[in-house]
Amino acid sequence: MPGIIFGIPFEEEIFLDLWREAPDPYLTAMIESGAVVEDSEIAGMIQSKGNQYTIPFYNTLSGEDQNYDGQTDITVEEVGGGFQTGIVYGRSKGFFARNFTAELSGADPMGHIASTIAKYWQKRRQGRLIGVTNAVFDITGASGYRKVWNDTHILDLSSATAEARKIKETDLNDLATLACGDNKGAFGLAIMHSSVANTLENLQLLQYRKYTDSLGIQRKMQIADINGFTVLIDDGVPVEAVGGTEDNSGLYRYTTYLFGSGVIRTAKGRVDVPVETVREAKKNGGQDELITRMRETIHPNGFNFTIPSSGWTQSPTDVQLFNKANWDIKFDPKSIPMAKLITNG
């Protein structure tokens, strides 16, 4: 039966529908670009088989073809491949009335609460996508896939001097070519800092998308387009201060990421009680609380997550998720459409 929380009628099923249906322009843009895929195979696994999952991959077909002349035998070659392992993380967050003071006076308090919580979790997902991406780009090595990854998927054009090297019109295309060669067309999404986006906007290269708010006013979104790339503006990407002397004070290195088709796999995990209400009769003289829970995975396709040997529970912490030591490369890097550009703005 419906209950009461924060002085308003509350029914969990209606709330969950509102929460799940809340628009997420950031995720929508990533999915529309093709870079992020909601993976039904992974979803099926993590609904019933715990937090860790293993999925197969197959190498790109290669080798010489044969003359088809009615006399030459056809040789059959086995398609190589392997497995990659991903991990589900679970998180929870509680809220009480003070979090929603402004919203509770509106005409649709239940909708406002669901929207506020949805935006909170959306922002947390954005941060974890960046954190996992940072981790796999921090993988280093002097040989094998690790060396190829470092040499071909990371382009550092920044400078530590006053001659700051800001992003230029051709940099994203050059990075895509460096990373994947004739397959550079797989790239479709860039995530960059607002300072980098501002440089491109000043060059009249960046076109921001717009939306019309509830008052009929057209406003600029943090989503843009440039030369076939969807651009997401996110100040959660790495920013590093450099220099510090008189001639280069205020100089920063900004990281921009490129993502290509299907390189990020995501799925929702099973949560038996995603939302519940609690009445704390003694706290602050009586307090209503709303508890939310979620489980999901964000997996960079082509990489393997290894459970750390210590400090492990049933859900990885952000420290464990973002630790490069827990990740390794499983694919040939040329088949992984992810790349990293470093500039001074």
Q: Which two tokens stand for residue 203?
A: 């060059």
Could you tell me the pLDDT band of residue 62, with boundaries at 50, 70 and 90?
Answer: low
Report the predicted TM-score, pTM, of the whole model to 2 decimal places: 0.87
Kindly tell me the burial class for residue 342, based on how many C-beta atoms sit within 10 Å of its own C-beta (0-12, 13-18, 19 or more).
Answer: middle
Note the pLDDT tens digit of each residue in 287-304: 888 999 999 999 999 999
Choose the weakest-confidence range: 44-53, 142-151, 158-167, 255-264.
Answer: 158-167
294 contacts: CB under 8 Å, gap ≥ 6? 90, 91, 92, 121, 268, 271, 274
Q: Predicted confidence band at 210 (pLDDT cuts at 50, 70, 90)?
A: confident
DSSP, collapsed to helix, strand or coil, labels residue 48 as coil
Reported as half-sphere exposure (CB side, CA atoms, 13 A), residue 190 has a value of 26
Look up tokens 């529309």; give the residue.
Answer: 32
Residue 66: pLDDT band (50, 70, 90) is: confident
pLDDT for residue 98: 65
| pLDDT, position 275 | 94
Is 170 or 56 the better-scoring residue by pLDDT? 170
State mean pLDDT over 259-274.
94
Secondary structure letter of residue 263 according to DSSP? -
Cβ neighbors of 130 (< 8 A, separation 6 or more) are: 191, 234, 236, 237, 257
Ordered by where they begin, the domains of the chain are 3-53+82-343 (3.90.1690)
In the numeric block, the tokens 């990281």 are attached to: 255
Reported as a pLDDT band with limits 50, 70 and 90, residue 32 is: very high
**What does the pLDDT read at residue 60?**
64
User: What pLDDT is attached to residue 236?
Assistant: 93
Per-residue model confidence as pLDDT tens digits over 163-205: 678 999 999 999 999 999 999 999 999 999 999 999 999 999 9
Residue pLDDT, tens place only, 228-250: 999 999 999 999 988 655 455 56
| Average pLDDT over every residue of 78-92 | 85
Mean pLDDT in residue range 246-255: 74
pLDDT band at 73 (very low <50, low <70, confident <90, very high): confident
Cα pseudo-dihedral 318, 120, 25, 47, rounded to 10: 60
Cβ–Cβ < 8 Å for 121, 305? no
SS3 (DSSP) at 74: coil
Q: What is the pLDDT of residue 314?
A: 85
Contact (CB, 8 A) for 222 and 29: no
Reported as a single tens digit per residue, the pLDDT across 96-133 is 876 666 555 566 778 888 888 999 999 999 999 999 99
Question: What is the rounded distance in angstroms from the CA atom of residue 308 to the CA atom of residue 320?
Answer: 8
What is the structure's pLDDT at 239?
A: 94
Question: Is residue 277 scored above 60 in pLDDT?
Answer: yes
Of 118, 163, 100, 136, which is closest to residue 26 (Cα–Cα)?
Answer: 118
**Choice between 40 and 6, residue whose per-residue pLDDT is larger:** 40
Which residue type, as a one-letter code, is found at position 291?
I
Percent of the chain residues topping a pLDDT of 70: 90
pLDDT digits (tens, 9 = 90+) for 40-51: 999 999 987 678
Q: How far apart are the first and last CA of the chain?
A: 55
Does residue 260 have a pLDDT over 60?
A: yes
Question: Above 70 in pLDDT, residue 279?
Answer: yes
Tokens 């990885």, located at residue: 316
Cα–Cα distance, 95 to 113 (Å, whole number): 10
Q: CA 86, CA 298: separation in Å to the nearest integer?
A: 8
Scanning the chain, the segments in alpha helix (DSSP H) are 12-21, 25-33, 40-46, 109-137, 144-153, 171-180, 194-202, 318-321
Rounded Cα–Cα distance for residues 203 and 196 (Å): 11
According to the model, what pLDDT value does residue 9 have? 80
The Cβ of residue 232 has, within 10 Å, a number of other Cβ atoms equal to 26
| Backbone phi, psi, residue 334, to 5° | -65, -20
